[in-house]
A = this chain, B = another copy of it.
Amino acid sequence: MTAVWPRVDELGLLTDLYELNMAQAYHLDGKSGEAVFSLFYRVLPGQRNYVVACGQEHAARLITELRFPEEQVRRLAPLGFRDEFLDWLADFRFSGEVRVVPEGSLVFPQEPLLELRAPVAEGQLLESLLMNYVNLETLLASKAARVVQAAAGIPVLDFGMRRMHGLEAAWRSVRAYRVAGIGATSNVLGGLSFDLPLRGTMAHSYIQSFDREIDAFRRYAQDYPGTTLLVDTYDSLAAVDKVIGLVRDEGLDVGAVRIDSGDLVAQARAARDKLDAAGLNGVRVVVSGGLDEWKVADLVAAGAPIDGFGVGTEMGSVADAPSLDFAYKLTEYQGRPRLKASPGKPIYPGAKQVWRHYDGEGRLAGDTLTGADEERDGQPLLRTVVANGELAVPAPDADAARRRLAGELAALPDAWRGTARAETPYPVTFSDALEDLRKRTLDRLP
């Protein structure tokens, strides 16, 4: 069959060449010291006030299972790799420790989502795979959480599959959406795989295939009692009248009408008025078409009588901020803190812990980053999920992550919950010991 994605046994080769080059150099030079690598982002993109950590537990599982089968290793020989390194690759099993923050946690700049402690060649080898893997779900969950917040309790439906960057992104998006609090998805395999309810309406093409719109409506409502009928193929309000006729005069069961274009506030109001005037208060009004968190917030603010938002392109392509500036930095080697010079982009050395503080009313009150072995009041976020190369926890649970995120967002002060960038960022401070370590490390830079 035409290759759709790589074979799972090829996954180790889905990396940047320099990771293999560096791993070989470490190996050939006998540099087997233990390193700490930290995965974090530096700057909040777009109008974000927070990022939702997602995918890092799956990524940690993945690296415990990563192998380089002989057949794959052989493909590297023509690139000039040495036999002794290829033998090492063929025997590769991750042997280190991974700590992650729980999926569904809010994370702020500089806070590690994942820290890995392992022989330096192992940690280096996993960089590209880890970054790519965590990038996707974190991007999607972060965007979707904003849309859900903007919708203020009105259900958000995912319609984004067609506009995502490939099939895997479309599939995995549903897991991120489940964590983010999306109510349902149109994505069949995604919904079945990640246990998010499925919703489907109809496309314009179905209606166009009939000579009369009302015949399409009648047939679809007969086939799918309770379905949602798309009303904007020709004239939305005339179509609402047809729906009313079918429900009132023919007794058909229609759950909702969907409006996909035009002035959504005006059309939703007009549709609602018509439905209510006909006594069809139970028929819902769903809107879609180019929605993002700002448009959803505007519709909510306008008090438009909307019962559901179908959101696709903008959420699925993360249109306003389609990448995060994740970094995967060596912060310690052979027990000594490490840094690179980075004017204007402070980086802190060493293994860390993130402490989340709550005030007396249970509201989020700021985070402190400390060295990994410092203690603080508050909730420590990084916990060990892989030890000695073996999984130390059960499989990640998207439901727990969804509850965690909902809890954190409910506890987040209003200033940081909206769609606009807050005047002051959520407070993240660094322990004196960490500041001190940073100064000493910078003073010692070559």
Contact = CB atoms under 8 A, between A and B. Distances in A.
Interface in A61-102: 61-62, 65, 75-76, 79
A189 B6 CA distance: 8
Nearest to A220: B25
Most chain-B CB neighbours within 10 Å: which of A37, A58, A342, A446? Answer: A446
A322 interface: yes
A205 to B, nearest CB: 4
Interface residues of A, number: 115
Given A15-B161, A189-B10, A317-B323, A340 B132 contact: no
A187 interface: yes
A294 interface: no
A13 B189 contact: yes
Given A163-B323, A204-B340, A340-B233, A333 B209 contact: yes
A326 interface: yes
A75 to B, nearest CB: 6
A316 B16 CA distance: 14
Interface in A239-298: 261-262
Given A8-B4, A16-B161, A200-B21, A317 B326 contact: no
A439 interface: no
28 contacts: A4-B8, A5-B167, A5-B171, A6-B171, A6-B189, A10-B189, A13-B188, A14-B187, A14-B188, A14-B190, A15-B188, A18-B201, A21-B202, A28-B223, A35-B209, A124-B203, A129-B167, A131-B163, A132-B162, A165-B165, A168-B168, A205-B329, A208-B330, A208-B338, A232-B341, A234-B445, A235-B341, A317-B323
Interface of A: 1-6, 8, 10-11, 13-22, 24-26, 28-29, 31, 33, 35, 37, 58, 61-62, 65, 75-76, 79, 120, 124, 127-129, 131-133, 135-136, 139, 159, 161-172, 186-193, 198-209, 211-213, 219-220, 223-224, 227, 232-235, 261-262, 313-314, 316-319, 322-323, 325-326, 328-330, 333, 338-343, 445-446
